[in-house]
Structure 1
Amino acid sequence: MVVKPLRADLVIYLKKHNLVKKFNKQITVFVSNPRHPSLHTEVLEPKSLKIYSFRIDRKYRTIFIFRNNQVEIIDVNDHYQ
């Protein structure tokens, strides 16, 4: 599985919230097994849009889509805001 490089604004967000190390760990797990239990990977509503998320930690999520046999990360956000 190929994960497209992060956009600059997402890299800044990860650095600002001290998530770089956690994100790198989770993305490594994701590449080897997208359904690993620690990721809590799920399809978001409405399911017809086929937008997914996985956990960086209990608070933060990575939002992504599958496009052209690649994973494109479209957002990293605070799950509770």
Structure 2
Amino acid sequence: MFLRDRGLLAKWAKAKKLFEKDIRHTSLNVELLEPKWRAIYSFRLDKKYRALFFIGKDGFVEILQITNHYKKA
């Protein structure tokens, strides 16, 4: 599993709890990604990994993936 293999399970649990409590919590560093019209956001798991998500019309949040924030394409 991606999170387990990278030692992110505890960080994911902590970030998920903060996210569910307050999507704007400062330690999550929520950002709207470019291009903005896609309405894809990210929040921080740690300095290296971020979770990408979007918010549906009904307010439901879907996590798209966990990414290496600084990995070069």
TM-score in terms of structure 2 length? 0.91
TM-superposed CA distance for 1:69, in Å, is: 2.2
TM-superposed CA distance for 1:57, in Å, is: 0.5
Whether 1:69 aligns to 2:59 is yes
Identity fraction in percent: 41
The answer to which of 56-65 and 67-76 deviates more is 67-76
TM-superposed CA distance for 1:47, in Å, is: 0.4
Q: Give SS of 1:35's match.
A: coil
- Which blocks of at least 5 consecutive residues in structure 2 are unaligned? none
Q: Which structure carries more relative contact order (alpha carbon 8 Å, separation 6+)?
A: 1
Matched residue pairs, number? Answer: 70
1:3-42 superposed matches below 5 A? 12-42=1-31
- Which blocks of at least 5 consecutive residues in structure 1 are unaligned? 1-11
TM-score in terms of structure 1 length? 0.82
Structure 1 stretches of at least 4 aligned residues deviating more than 2 Å after TM superposition = none
TM-superposed CA distance for 1:16, in Å, is: 1.1
Q: Deviations over 1:17-62 (max 9, x none)?
A: 0101100100100111111110000100000000000000011000
